[in-house]
Amino acid sequence: MNKTEEYQNEILKKIKNKERLNIAITYVMVIAIYAIVQGLVTTGNISNLLKGILVPTCVYVIAAISLNLVVGFSGELSLGHAGFMCIGAFTSGFFSKAVGDGLPDGFRFFLAIVIGALFAGIVGMLIGIPVLRLKGDYLAIVTLAFGEIIKNLLNVVYMGLDSRGIHFSTKSSMDLGLESGGKKIIEGALGISKIPKNSTFTIGVILVLVTLFIVQNLIHSRAGRAIMSTRDNRIAAESIGIPVTRFKLMAFTVSAALAGMAGALYAHNIGKLNTSKFDYNMSILVLVFVVLGGIGNIRGSILAAIILTALPEMLRGLSDYRMLIYAVLLIAMMLFNWAPAALAFRERVREKLPFGRKKKEVE
Amino acid sequence: MAVLDINHLSISFGGLHAVDDFNVSIEKGCLYGLIGPNGAGKTTVFNLLTGVYKPTEGIIRLNGADITGKSTIEINKAGVARTFQNIRLFKGLTVLDNVKAGFHNHYQYSVLSGIFLLPRKRQMENSMNERSMEILKVFDLEREAGLLAGNLPYGKQRKLEIARAMATEPKLLLLDEPAAGMNPNETAELMETIRFVRDHFDLTILLIEHDMKLVSGICEELTVLNFGRVLAQGKTAAVLSDPEVITAYLGA
Ligand SMILES: Nc1ncnc2c1ncn2[C@@H]1O[C@H](COP(=O)(O)OP(=O)(O)OP(=O)(O)O)[C@@H](O)[C@H]1O
Ligand SMILES: [Mg+2]
């Protein structure tokens, strides 16, 4: 090997190591948090209230990471993420209830998650195909409408199952005309009840890790580069032959599928499901996690989702001051993540750390 | 045969004839200059060539094949790459990734190989890394490979744009004011580099430039545009001593 090659390999190695470290830190962080929380649970040092939000926190973490793929890496604004979670929740819930005891619990839950992700991904793709061709913030408008439409559609869906197969109606569960042994599955605005409660904290964390695996590896691949170059400069991306629409669509579809997975986790946690939870507020909440955690910052999304989900519960005792503290925290996080002085400060701290990044270099 | 053949190319914006009956034929391996006063229509010619704008009239041929009206992406795949007058880098990506993005259509692997870290991903990424470092070396940007493109100084950003365009393995390279904002030293170095890539990468280069030292130094042939129309065309020395060109552009 000659001198220049050696030098080039050295540089490449440094870049690769930095990338690997960056990816590994995220996994380690999630596993560490899991270990701590699990420790608290087994030693009984955690209130029942907090125990109740462990799975929902995982749901929000997955939702935030997946939304970040669209907002942070693909550079599009999506305001209907709850809509995809809703699809994932309902399709997976329907499946689990329809199958019932026909399959072993674990396998049925696994299939339910896959189905939730698949359906949400397909719907995401169908929405993305016409919308992502357009330049401009059309995605924001369409996803906003989509989130509301899907909710209202599901509110009038009645579905049931008997020996003759699946029955469908938009009027009432009586209208399904089920045989005496048949079961109602989706009951309009009442949604689905008695979904098997398969979700556990451990499964939630595993799904978070699956999400991280998919998103981080996608970003650090050819497709990820195409997605981010389209975000940074669409015209330049086209000028080097990157089919920009295809990669925007890919990011959006993957994001929708992961949101569907989060929805499936949600549905199998409480056992009861109706559309009212998956409203505009939930979409905005997930967006808040992404923005406060730092757009394009995956670890930030995770931490923001955890802190902002756990905090309101922990502050419940303070009743009146709860929302005040919450609001102050929101502002503090925003300043910490986005104020120029805070950014410069973090840059300085990083330089001093042994594995910190040097000024101007990437994570 | 000419690499690039343009006939009767025209476009108007509203009533403005930005480019009006433009004709040119550029031979393989030529270093060709396109000059003219501000607003003459030079960048518009590049935008027409790369499919950013569709011409109202005219035909563009690349190695004899008609590429008129094709999309920017198809035209790049056919072998045309460009840089931009107002730099358009992927600022949030590293210098290395900017070049690797240019290899998008040359080192392919599926999304699934990417997500599941299949062997093909590693092979392709390794080849891309090697090739990218080779290109970066030509532009003396190896050391900066790990930096964010947006953090490079101006002159280096211009060079990185050329490096990224080179990664698409073009037959024809279009450079829009590559020396803009560079100091005389950087410009002199750039002239060497442009000559070097033309010779070593089997390229034909069409460049827009206001720096007359660069133009007279490296361009073999020139076209002068004025108000969207060709004012003069031919060997560099002849064009630059044309009295009409001197009054209209160079100034007495
Ligand atoms: N998209 C557009 N819409 C309307 N007018 C345009 C458009 N693009 C270019 N023009 C006009 O066409 C004319 C030629 O512009 P162009 O950018 O090609 O000039 P140029 O020769 O590159 O000038 P400069 O040396 O300043 O870069 C200008 O008058 C410009 O305002
Ligand atoms: Mg111009």
Contact B146, A16 (CB under 8 A): no
Distances from the Cα of A87 to the Cα of A195, B120, B126, angstroms: 15, 34, 40
3-class SS of residue B140: coil
Nearest-atom index, ligand 1, CA of B225: 21
CB contact under 8 A, B114 and A233: no
Beta bridge partners of B2: B27
Run of H or E including A186: strand A183-187
Residue A1 CB contacts under 8 Å (≥ 6 apart), including other chains: A9
Question: Is there a contact between A148 and A282 (Cβ–Cβ < 8 Å)?
Answer: no
Ligand found nearest the CA of B40: 1
Query: Could you tell me which of B206, B192, B164, B232 has the C-alpha nearest to residue B5?
Result: B206
Which residues of chain A neighbour B137 with C-beta distances below 8 Å? 4, 8
pLDDT of A361: 38
Q: Average pLDDT by consecutive 10-residue portion of chain B (252 residues)?
A: 93 93 95 94 97 95 95 97 97 97 97 95 96 96 94 94 97 96 93 95 95 94 94 93 85 60
Cβ contact, residue pair B92, A11, below 8 Å = no
- Quick: pLDDT tens for A40-85: 999 988 888 888 999 999 999 999 999 999 999 999 999 999 999 9
Q: How confident is the model at residue A134 (pLDDT cuts 50, 70, 90)?
A: confident
Would you call A240 and B93 a contact, using CB atoms and an 8 Å cutoff? Answer: no
Q: Which residues of A touch B71 (CB under 8 A)?
A: 238
Given the CA of residue B47, which atom of ligand 1 is nearest to it?
18
Contact between A11 and B146 under an 8 Å Cβ cutoff? The reply is yes
Q: Closest Cα of chain A to B241: distance in Å?
A: 35
Say yes or no for a CB contact (<8 Å) between B115 and A214.
yes
The pLDDT, as a whole number, for residue A74 is: 95
Residues A179-212: tens digit of each pLDDT:
777 788 888 888 888 899 999 999 999 999 999 9
Q: Which residues 6+ apart lie within 8 Å of A128 measured at CB?
A: A139, A248, A249, A252, A253, A256
- The sign of the CA dihedral A81, A87, A89, A92 is negative
Structural contact between residues B81 and B168, judged by C-beta atoms closer than 8 angstroms: yes
CATH 1.10.3470 fits A18-342, yes or no: yes
Closest partner CB to A218 (pick from B107, B114, B142): B114
Ligand 1 contacts (CB < 6 A) are B 13, 16, 18, 36, 38-44, 85
Q: What is the pLDDT of residue B34?
A: 96
Report the candidate in A105, A86, A62 with the shortest Cα–Cα distance to residue A290: A62
Q: How confident is the model at residue A270 (pLDDT cuts 50, 70, 90)?
A: confident
Supply the angle between the helices B119-138 and A222-232 in degrees, to the nearest 10: 50
Going from N- to C-terminal start, the domains of chain A cover 18-342
Give the ligand with the smallest distance to the CA of B176.
2
Give residue A182's pLDDT: 77
Across A139-160, average pLDDT: 90
User: pLDDT at position A353, please?
Assistant: 59
A348 versus A146: the higher-pLDDT residue is A146
Residue A214 phi, psi (nearest 5): -65, -50
Query: With an 8 Å Cβ cutoff, are A236 and B88 in contact?
Result: yes
pTM (2 d.p.): 0.91
d(Cα A353, Cα A141) in Å, to the nearest integer? 43
Note the pLDDT tens digit of each residue in A298-340: 999 999 999 989 887 777 777 677 677 777 777 877 777 677 7
User: What is the CA(B65)–ligand 2 centre distance, in A?
Assistant: 26
What is the per-residue pLDDT for A352?
64
Helices (H), A100-190: 105-131, 138-154
Q: What is the mean pLDDT of chain A?
A: 88
Based on its alpha-carbon atoms, the radius of gyration of chain A, rounded to whole angstroms, reads 22
A294 or B7, which is more confident: B7
Give per-residue burial for B83-121: e unless 16+ CB within 10 Å, then b: bbeebbbbebbbbbbbbbbbbbbebebebebbbeeeeeb
Distance (Å, whole) CA A358 – CA B10: 50
pLDDT band at A358 (very low <50, low <70, confident <90, very high): very low
